[in-house]
Chains A and B, each alone.
Chain A
Amino acid sequence: MSLLEIENLRVSFDTEAGPVEAVRGISFGVNRERVAIVGESGSGKSVTGRSILRLVRPPGRVTADTLRFDGQDLLSLSERKMRAIRGQRIAMVMQDPKFALNPVMTIGDQMTEGLRRRDGLSRRKATARAIDMLAAVQIRDGERVMRAYPHEMSGGMGQRVMIAMMLIPDPDLLIADEPTSALDVTVQAEVLAILDDLVKERGMGLIFISHDLRLVSRFCDRVLVMYLGKIVERLDARDLESAQHPYTRGLLNCLPSIGGDRSALPVLDRDAAWAE
């Protein structure tokens, strides 16, 4: 039995032009491993991540034959029990720290809020725990960072703070939604390395959502490729070069490389029939 089991997950939204199915019947399982979901904007990859945490609000509708985490059916769980899972057992790192952190709270208050309210820790203990976590994401001057507000930090620093915050309750599964897309390339590498170490050390499951196929292939064990709400190809990351699907091949080849020739970059020839 997998840590997370998903069968025939569907998510739809009502729009003026009628209902739109963002996710159209996908199935996969995640163990204590690193699984990437890759696709372009609109492929349904982020909605998949959000529906696992039941963060898709009505009028959005989520249905599935199975949506089970550690043996519990997530769809039928009460909102109260769901809250005990969110953050505690399944955590999520969002794309852009500028929007995901509270701009009017210091980092320290945001990081210790859960520890103090939920776990009833004293201010001193909670602060010590938060500083330890900051050290784990290689923020050495934790005390200063705890006093800072989000706008006083660079993007890379903000993203590290968010990862630290998500890891405080020691979750079993981490969902990272484009955690490095808003960062500079040099900082991306650092943040990925930190994430990688933590996942390995703690034996967490990781769902890594990204549009960058090359990036995830160096970082994950398995890759699910999504197009228009369907999984069109499943691959072991090491077999990426032998991907068969034209969409996967297109995503692989569209990036420029240093020293490459300068002819036009291959572009995706999208075919709606792939998602039939």
Chain B
Amino acid sequence: MLIEIDDLSVTFGKGRDAVRAVRGVSFAVNARESFGLVGESGSGKSTILRAICGMAPVTGGELRIDGVPLPKRRSKAFSRRIQMVFQDPYASLHPKRSVDATLAEPLAIHGIKGRDERVVQAMTDVGLDPRFRFRFPHQLSGGQRQRVVIARALMLEPEILLLDEPTSALDASVQAEVLNLLSRIREERNLTYLMVSHDLAVIDHMCDRLAVMKDGRVVEQLNRSALASGDVREDYTRTLFAASAHEVAP
């Protein structure tokens, strides 16, 4: 198992105001697998991704990559292996940094040479015209921005991508383009995905296995064929299923 989450708990705040965002969650992801976490806002799914990156206060349990527990502080080696793509491309790009500066920063931090070729190559890889290299985020559309965010995550050639609702801020038509891009990149680079979404249809399209989350707990783990045949145990999964199929009450 490449990623192992073992009885993870995350609690924000203390005492009376404590919020237990993640409550004893365990699952594991194989190398080159695509694993989905699905649930509503506040179910703790994004917090798990943030915990892996060391951006959430872990209060219990263990996180292991390749069987090795993650150290308290994430190292440079960690960011070479694992990168994150955030939900909102408007909020996750620096508004005053050009595409070029955004993509070159990870190279500078890790002392990687060949800046020009690598930036141009990364842009081509995600389907961005290299003419956009010196544009700023406000001069790009939502879909183009998300391509920049994905290109930035790929700069260090990681093996694992953590995807936090990568398309929920985008139009349905642009979502299709970005999902296709993510599928192609995974294929080409043998990547492992851990993807979070509230849309079961998106997770089903992208992932081999998935865990359904509610109130900080995993209520059910499924594989794709179980989902397709409707072979689910929990009522909550059925509710999500109906909502994702856009079954609006008449």
Contact = CB atoms under 8 A, between A and B. Distances in A.
Interface in A7-50: 40-42
Contacts, number: 104
Interface in B192-250: 198-202, 204-206, 227-229, 239-249
Contacts of B177: 267
Interface stretch (A71-79, A131-139, A143-151, A206-214): A206-214
Contacts of A187: 40
B171 interface: yes
B248 A40 contact: no
Q: How large is the interface on B (under 10, 10 to 19, 20 to 34, 35 or more residues)?
A: 35 or more
Contact of B173 (A154, A219, A254, A256): A254
Nearest to B181: A264
A254 B176 contact: yes
B245 A255 contact: no
Given A154-B41, A185-B199, A185-B200, A215 B173 contact: no
A238 B245 CA distance: 17
B210 to A, nearest CB: 11
B205 A260 contact: yes
Contacts of B180: 264-265, 267
20 contacts: A40-B173, A154-B42, A155-B41, A184-B41, A185-B240, A187-B40, A192-B249, A196-B249, A211-B173, A254-B175, A255-B201, A256-B176, A257-B201, A258-B228, A258-B241, A259-B228, A264-B184, A265-B176, A267-B176, A267-B177
A10 B36 CA distance: 45
4 closest Cβ pairs, A-B complex: A256-B205, A259-B228, A254-B176, A265-B176
Contacts of A266: 176
A105 interface: no
Given A184-B198, A267-B173, 18 more contacts: A154-B41, A184-B41, A185-B240, A189-B248, A211-B172, A218-B246, A219-B248, A255-B201, A256-B179, A256-B202, A257-B201, A258-B227, A259-B227, A260-B201, A262-B205, A265-B176, A267-B177, A268-B173
A193 interface: yes
Contact of B171 (A40, A256, A259): A40
Contacts of A196: 248-249
A188 interface: yes
A41 B245 contact: no
Contacts of B41: 154-155, 184
Interface of A: 40-42, 154-155, 184-189, 192-193, 196, 211-215, 218-219, 250-251, 254-260, 262, 264-268
A162 B242 CA distance: 25
Interface in B173-192: 173-177, 179-180, 183-184
Contacts of A219: 248
B5 to A, nearest CB: 23
A213 B171 CA distance: 11
Given A184-B198, A255-B201, A265-B205, A218 B248 contact: yes
Contacts of B247: 189, 218
